[in-house]
Amino acid sequence: MPSHDESHVERVKKLAEFIAVKEGADLEIVMRSAELHDISRFHNPEGSTKNHAIESAKIARDVLAKEGCDEEFIECVVHCIESHSFSSGIHPKTLEAKVLSDADKLDAIGAIGIARAFMFSGEWGRGIEETLRHFDEKLLKLYNMLHTKTAREIGKERHEFLKMFYHQIKKELGKMS
């Protein structure tokens, strides 16, 4: 899925690294979490009815165990991955988990986020109206869900751009005055 491809993972890694350094998070945990946060999407490119964050955490646990990582490190990474997703229902408890969650959310807003939203909709055969529902149900809520000061600083401009785009497209569709 191009909306959740290697480019997405690389952007999340860059954002996560920047936020982790600024916020004082454990960089090793954050970077491994960012690398593996969407791994289930690569194992099942057609999508899954299961929660991708939970599935990715299971795969990451196996990968890290095979690499010989210690159990404490594995559990930290697993928690980051399980709690990064908007829809996982798991609240990030550690700074590292908050950093990964923020980095992933930042990639879903702003110009990149808009492009990804329409790519995702195209991948699933959804139209403009359905995509705009996704803005209402998720994307426009993400800024208020950011955990770290650094992410909020980065996200402010992205969120404003997202809102501006949303209002403009609604206006063009005759949905707003």
pLDDT along the chain (177 residues), means of 10: 74 98 98 94 62 91 96 97 87 97 96 94 91 95 97 98 96 79
User: Which pLDDT belongs to residue 86?
Assistant: 80
pTM, full prediction: 0.91
User: Which pLDDT belongs to residue 5?
Assistant: 64
| All structural domains of the chain with their residue ranges | 2-172
Q: Which of 169, 5, 16 is nearest to 105 (CA)?
A: 16
User: Which pLDDT belongs to residue 3?
Assistant: 55
Mark 121-141 as b/e (b = at least 16 C-beta within 10 Å). Answer: beeeeeeeeebbebbeebbee
Which residue carries 């930290």 as its tokens? 76
CATH class of 2-172: mainly alpha
User: Which pLDDT belongs to residue 4?
Assistant: 66
How wide is the angle at C-alpha 62 spanned by C-alphas 56 and 63, nearest 5°? Answer: 85
User: Which pLDDT belongs to residue 49?
Assistant: 45
